[in-house]
Amino acid sequence: MVKTEIIISTPLITGHISSLLVIIAFMLAVVKKNNIRTLYRLYIVGISVLISEMSFNGISLTKYLWGVLGSLSTTTMLLLLCFIYQKLFDKKIVTNKNLNFLMLLVVTGAIVLYPLSLGLYYTDPYLAGYGSFLFILSLFIICIFALNTYHYPALLCICFAAISYSFEIMESRNLWDYLIDPLLVFFAIFWLAKQSLIKATAYFKLKKQQTK
């Protein structure tokens, strides 16, 4: 009884692109060899695209991922693009210092957003994403701070999220959904933990050498 005319909308396209980026990034991450030529890596991208459109039980992998993950935030999509570029051309776009700052912002945002929006109290910070001026002002201040401290990737992520939100490229009408998503938060926690561990190990090594 339901009409089956599919509306090809921008959110539908964005949703499928975000799922496709996850698949390509996953495939490139799985191939650990660093000495393979760019051309072969491009083949991997091609294979990823083919796999993503292959039908399993009547449904493609991108549709499956979109169903499960929904639309990923603009920040995640930008970071996936950076990761794919880095894997393809062996060039790092985002430095560790810049990524640390960005991930710190993501984790801070998640701490503010998730516990309360999942029902911890009556206050819901997710409401701020529905056009709150104070929220927009806070993001602007973060951007100016990032500009002055040369944390350009964080600045670009916020600005691209703002532009994407303005043009409604995703299903959501909430700005939070353009800034962060749980997948990004899990990665941010993992990244910050890894960086802290590296720093701690280096510190204790140095201290050990000094006492010797």
Q: Kindly list the residues in this chain that would bind another protein in the complex (CB under 8 A).
A: 1-7, 12, 15-16, 58-59, 63-70, 113-114, 117-124, 126-127, 129-132, 136, 139-140, 143-144, 147, 152, 155-156, 159-160, 162-163, 165-167, 171-177, 180-182
Q: Taking phi first (over 0 means left), then psi (-120 to 50 degrees means alpha), and beta for anything else, what does residue 151 get? A: beta
Backbone angles phi, psi at 161, to 5 degrees: -65, -45
Q: How many CB atoms lie under 10 A from the CB of residue 186?
A: 11
- H or E element at residue 56: strand 55-56
What's the closest the beta carbon of residue 72 comes to another protein, in angstroms?
Answer: 10
State which residue, 84 or 158, has the beta carbon closest to another protein: 158
State which residue, 85 or 140, has the beta carbon closest to another protein: 140
State which residue, 99 or 113, has the beta carbon closest to another protein: 113
Q: How many CB atoms lie under 10 A from the CB of residue 74?
A: 27
What's the closest the beta carbon of residue 201 comes to another protein, in angstroms?
Answer: 33
Both tokens assigned to 110: 């998640």
What's the closest the beta carbon of residue 58 comes to another protein, in angstroms?
Answer: 7
State which residue, 81 or 162, has the beta carbon closest to another protein: 162
- Per the listing, tokens 């083919």 go with 50
- Rounded Cα gap, residues 137 and 141, in angstroms: 6
What's the closest the beta carbon of residue 190 comes to another protein, in angstroms?
Answer: 17
